[in-house]
Amino acid sequence: MKKIIKKIVYAWPFMAFFVSFFLFWQYSIDIFSIPAYILPKPTEIVTKGWADIPRLMNYTLVTGSETLIGYVLAVVIAVPMGLAISFSPMLRRTIYPFFVSLEMVPKIAFAPLFISWLGFGLLPKVIIVVMVCFFPVVLNAIHAFSSLSDELTRFCRSTGAGRVAVFWKVRFPAALPQCFVGFKYAAMNAVVGAAIAEFIGSDQGLGFYIQIVTGNMRPDLAFAGIFFLTVLGLALFGLVTLAERIFVPWHIATRRL
């Protein structure tokens, strides 16, 4: 109980700022006579959004699934690939520089192409999410698996242990913290990837929703859509952070934060 009170007391400046921000927003609309079709009041967003909840929830599920499937797929492909690259000198000289240059290519720019190839369904969105998530995960995985200290490497060699044992008992746990850096970065960007892909070509999902309601001069519903996108992003990031706390409790960053 004490801890919770402490946290609230600590957070009050932020909460006060948050509340004042919304109060300012709410009352500026009347003070400055801003029309509702430009900028809605926060209270309007809540009431009108609540009225459209079934659709919002459905679309949240759609965007959420695209994001989650794409994210998991990206991790499942990227981590083994990162492993392979960090252990194979040949791959490191061929694929790795290729990935580093590809990282600079804006993957979202591929969305119109994919949609024209693959249509309005789930697949092109999932592919975009995979592309967005793949690079941070693979690059961090490569770094993670290549970073074992000289001392630990020598220690393992002096035990005569086989490569598999050394991998599971030493290399893999040692690499986890850095891998999670990639996981978290990918989680931050995954939802954005899905939403933008939906802007470009979709018939459902939050990106589609925001586009439609904005076209219908309903910025209040657009904000509601944005709110749910934010929740999705936070949820994914929160899940990954939770996983980090479970799998890497010993790491200094997890302990500090």
Footprint of other proteins (CB under 8 A) = 149, 151-152, 154-161, 165-166, 169-170, 173-174, 248, 250-252, 255
CA 218 to chain centre: 27
Helix H or strand E encompassing 250: none
Amino acid at 112: P
Q: Are 82 and 137 in contact (CB under 8 A)?
A: yes
In the chain, DSSP finds a helix count (H) and a strand count (E) of 12, 0
* Residue placing its CB nearer to other proteins in the complex, 93 or 169: 169
CB of 243 to other proteins, least distance (A): 15
Tokens at 85, concatenated: 């690259």
Residue count of the chain: 257
* Residue placing its CB nearer to other proteins in the complex, 156 or 213: 156
* Residue placing its CB nearer to other proteins in the complex, 6 or 255: 255
CB of 257 to other proteins, least distance (A): 15
Q: Are 27 and 41 in contact (CB under 8 A)?
A: no
CB of 2 to other proteins, least distance (A): 24
* Residue placing its CB nearer to other proteins in the complex, 177 or 193: 177
* Residue placing its CB nearer to other proteins in the complex, 59 or 145: 145
Distance, first Cα to last Cα, the chain: 20
CB of 158 to other proteins, least distance (A): 5
CB of 172 to other proteins, least distance (A): 10
